Amino acid sequence: MNNAPAAHRLVIVGQGAIGSLLAAKAQQQHLDYGVIPRNKQPLAMHYQHLASGLSFDFTPTSVTQLSLQDIILLPLKAFQIDNALAHLTIPAEASIVLMHNGMGTIEATQTRFPSNPILAATTSYGVYKPHSNTLVETGQGKTAIGWVQHPNKTVQQCLQSFLETGLGPLYWHDNIQLALWQKLAVNAVINPLTAIHQIKNGGLQDPQFNNVIHEICQEVALVMQALNMPVTIEALKDNVREVIINTADNYSSMNRDIAAGRPSEIDFINGYIVQQANKLGIDVSHNQRLWQQVNQLAQQS
């Protein structure tokens, strides 16, 4: 049994890959949790991790059944966050955890919920759903989390125990914005390039991509430095290379979205970088080009 404080319940919004993974990890740890389905998907799930498997049923939770002690995790696409929050009846003391690729949702969430404890998290775990009721974990990653507003000690203890056990190693950041920008730089390289060229992440190890990876990281570093974040181009490139190597056999989420004709998170990744750069008067033409290319591909599908 997990030793996290029993007073808190984990409520997972949606049944995407990461949401289903969180539910599977909560099930393994025998935690009190519920799932708010966003679509009419089956509640039964089979979770496959390496040689082991776990079959279980999600515990459905109504959008009006949320309590003060709930920790509400939103492992959704960035463009789904605001709409999802608008349809939830969230008490003022319930905690909200934003968990997605890209940036741009924190400010809107703070405006909508000025009194709630809010956290931001990101994970690099490899996971996908070949079928609506099947979840496959393809590789271990790491998870970063930190407070956005109104820290709560018992909530932090609960999340730290859950995520360290389920999605560790876990890194708790006093400055989560820096960690989110570092992850944004990785996503700004891997997601659009693998979507445009329809290749696995490992395909970016080809020398033909060296120059564009350098240019993307250089532009992101300039924006981060202008925002007073300690960063170097080489550090960003090292992070990108590490993720490319560690996830070489994986397809990025944007690759799969474009291939399937689904909306992508490009507006919240390279688009967000362009938005911030424009405010600062910084040229990020490579990010601008990738933003436009992916949006063009989405329109064609």
Q: Catalytic amino acids?
A: 183
Check if the beta carbon of residue 69 is closer than 8 Å to that of residue 7.
yes
The two structure tokens encoding residue 52:
């082991």
CA distance 46 to 197: 32
| Continuous H helices in 99-152 | 106-112
Sequence-separated (6 or more) residues with CB below 8 Å from residue 175: 146
Identify the DSSP state of 206: S
| Continuous H helices in 77-209 | 81-86, 106-112, 153-167, 176-197
Longest Cα–Cα distance of the chain, Å, equals 53
Sequence-separated (6 or more) residues with CB below 8 Å from residue 114: none
CA distance 225 to 214: 16
Instruction: Tell how far CA 296 is from the center of its chain.
Output: 23
- Strand order of the β-sheet with 143-149 is 33-36, 9-13, 70-74, 95-99, 118-123, 143-149, 170-172
